[in-house]
Structures are given as C-alpha cells and as structure tokens.
C-alpha cells in the first residue's frame, strides 16, 4: 500500500494516527511506553516501501503531516487527560522524534497552508478525557488552548478549502467519536457548518466513508494495512484528495472496492454538501 501511495505522487502525506500499533494497552510506566513506541516506530521506518515513500517525499520537499491516535499514544481508547501526565508527554515526544510533525509551541497541532487549502492537524489525544468525564465540557477533546487557537485560525482562514485532520471520527461509527462529547461536537458544528469548502478528514475506524448528516462534511479513510473489522479482509484503504478552484475530487481507494468511491464536491454553489 505504501508503494501505491508513492505512485500517486502526493503533494503532502497525511497520517491520521494509529500509525504504529501498541501491543500493550495498559501502560503505566513512561519508560516502558517509550521503549515499546520507539521500537514500533523504528520497525515502521524500516519497512522498505514506507521508507521509500518518505524518502521520495523528502527529496521533493513535500511534507509528511502525522498525528497520533490511541494505538500510537497510550493504547486502545485511552486519553491523555485520564492518566499520569508523564505518559502523554512520552507519547508526544516519540511522535515528534520519529515523524517530526509541525508544532504550535510545544503542541503537535498545526495549520499548514497549501495555496487553495488550509490543512489543520488537530491533537485529539493529549488533552482528551473519557466521554463521561466531559460530556458537558465545551473544551472537551482539544482542551481550552487548542480550541481557542483552532477557532481563531479557522475563522481567519481565507483559503477556498479548509481540511481538518482529525484522528477520530466526528460522526459515530465505532466506539469513539466527537458525537460522544455533545458540548464539543456542537461547538465544532457551530464553527464548521455553513463554511463553504470546509471538511473533516478522519481515520480510526477501518473503513472508507463519507457523511454530511450533521452539516459537517466528513471523509473517513482507514486503515492502510489492518483488516477491516467489518468485512475481515485486507482493504488497503486510503484517500486521494485533489483540490481545484471548482471543487475537491475525493477518491477513496480500497483493494476491495477499487476506485468505486470517486466523487467531486463542487465549490461555489449554494450548497456545500456531498453530491
């Protein structure tokens, strides 16, 4: 799948998390967490096809934009705000060491500008707490500082397109989503809905999908390598987004479905919604 992605010759590569997969989901010792994550990142970077893809991007000056999700952070459905702060600091340091994401201060969230597109990469793990602890918290998932930064930069953006890179899905599919945090979900919807050209790009749930039920337009694409828990087959899911002044073409690639999901969302009409 890495060779297929390299053949696409992307202008930027976005990795939305679960980029490596922790075997241990109950880490309590930062040193052990560091050791396991470090070994996983090293193994991933030794994969010859992945290494070739990264080398090709680097040779062309094209960025890798990576964030983490749960399995390359503290483990299955775990959140930085629920545990010893040393654990989340460790996981973030390992992401920085190995994938060097753009940063805002010491944080790994960022806005990246590519002509027609402003691409936000959010950190949805470091400040997050379990849903029951923050259902009514408007700062949930991102934390107060990241929320303020995100709203300010989003509203200031004059780019025709705004892509929000989100490790977890907005709409509920699996067992984690923004919808499980009603106050934060409403805050996101108030920000995004009605803004022509804005869409969320998310991963996590081992499927390709597109939703606009809530007024937030969301493209889901995952996972590049793991078997789908829905269909039990290797699917090699990834997405290619191609931006033009008239709209964004979305190709959801899958070994199983080929290029079946290939549509363009036109920009400039009255509605900004899935075709």
Looking at the Cβ atoms of 157 and 202, the one nearer to Fe ion is 202
Looking at the Cβ atoms of 19 and 134, the one nearer to Fe ion is 19
Closest approach of Fe ion to the CB of residue 207, in Å: 12
Looking at the Cβ atoms of 69 and 118, the one nearer to Fe ion is 69
Looking at the Cβ atoms of 110 and 166, the one nearer to Fe ion is 166
Burial class of 189 by CB neighbour count within 10 A (0 to 12, 13 to 18, 19+): middle
Helix (H) or strand (E) holding 95: helix 85-99
Residue nearest to Fe ion (CB): 69
Instruction: List own/partner pairs for 92-95 with CB under 8 A and 24 or more apart.
Output: 92/68, 92/126, 93/34, 94/34, 94/37, 94/38, 94/41, 95/66, 95/67, 95/68
Dig out the tokens for 91 from the structure.
């996981």
* Radius of gyration, CA atoms only, the chain: 18
Burial class of 7 by CB neighbour count within 10 A (0 to 12, 13 to 18, 19+): exposed
Query: What residues line the site for Fe ion (CB under 5 A)?
Result: 18, 69-70, 204
Identify whether the C-beta of residue 238 lies closer than 8 Å to the C-beta of residue 3: no
Closest approach of Fe ion to the CB of residue 167, in Å: 7
Closest approach of Fe ion to the CB of residue 70, in Å: 4
Phi, psi of 7 (to 5 degrees): -65, -20
Closest approach of Fe ion to the CB of residue 157, in Å: 27
Closest approach of Fe ion to the CB of residue 55, in Å: 27
Closest approach of Fe ion to the CB of residue 170, in Å: 14
Looking at the Cβ atoms of 109 and 161, the one nearer to Fe ion is 109
Q: 153: closest CA among 97, 213, 204, 198?
A: 198
Looking at the Cβ atoms of 70 and 251, the one nearer to Fe ion is 70
């Amino acid at each position: 799948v890495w060779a297929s992605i390299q053949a696409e010759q992307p202008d930027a590569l976005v990795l939305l998390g679960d980029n490596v997969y922790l075997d241990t989901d109950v880490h309590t010792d930062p040193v052990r967490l560091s050791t396991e994550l470090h070994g996983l990142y090293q193994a991933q970077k030794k994969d010859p096809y992945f290494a070739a893809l990264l080398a090709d991007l680097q040779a062309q000056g094209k960025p890798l934009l990576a964030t983490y999700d749960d399995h390359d952070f503290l483990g299955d459905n775990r959140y930085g705000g629920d545990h010893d702060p040393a654990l989340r600091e460790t996981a973030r340091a390992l992401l920085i060491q190995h994938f060097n994401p753009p940063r805002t201060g010491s944080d790994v969230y960022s806005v990246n500008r590519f002509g027609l597109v402003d691409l936000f990469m959010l950190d949805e793990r470091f400040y997050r707490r379990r849903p029951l602890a923050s259902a009514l918290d408007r700062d949930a998932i991102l934390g107060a500082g990241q929320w303020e930064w995100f709203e300010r930069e989003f509203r200031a953006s004059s780019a025709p397109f705004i892509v929000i890179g989100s490790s977890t899905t907005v709409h509920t599919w699996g067992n984690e989503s923004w919808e499980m945090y009603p106050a934060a979900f409403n805050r996101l919807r108030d920000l995004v809905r009605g803004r022509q050209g804005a869409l969320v790009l998310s991963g996590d749930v081992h499927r390709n999908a597109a939703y606009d039920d809530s007024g937030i337009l969301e493209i889901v694409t995952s996972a590049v390598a793991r078997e789908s828990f829905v269909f039990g087959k290797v699917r090699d899911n990834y997405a290619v987004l191609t931006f033009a002044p008239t709209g964004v073409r979305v190709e959801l690639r899958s070994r199983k479905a080929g290029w079946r999901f290939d549509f363009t969302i036109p920009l400039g009409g009255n509605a900004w919604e899935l075709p």
